[in-house]
Amino acid sequence: MKACKQCNFIIKNDNKCPACGSTELSEKFSGIAIIFDAEKSEVAKYLGKKSPGEYALKIE
């Protein structure tokens, strides 16, 4: 798995972020936040995300 350096989105089988289109991905990340309902999620507010998905908490 890789995480997008731009938006933290976690990518499983791709070399491009499906969320923002960036190709700057990192294999070194820690922590995964899964957002199901961005409008109600405290994690989504904390991370500043508006769409559901899996996000890395920290990218090195």
Binding site for Zn ion (CB under 5 A): 4, 6-7, 9, 17, 19-20, 22
Residue 30 C-beta: closest distance to Zn ion, Å? 17
Minimum CB distance to Zn ion smaller for 6 or for 41: 6
CB 48 within 8 A of CB 7: no
Residue 17 C-beta: closest distance to Zn ion, Å? 3
CB 10 within 8 A of CB 56: yes
Minimum CB distance to Zn ion smaller for 17 or for 59: 17
CB 3 within 8 A of CB 9: yes
What tokens appear for 36 in the block? 């199901």
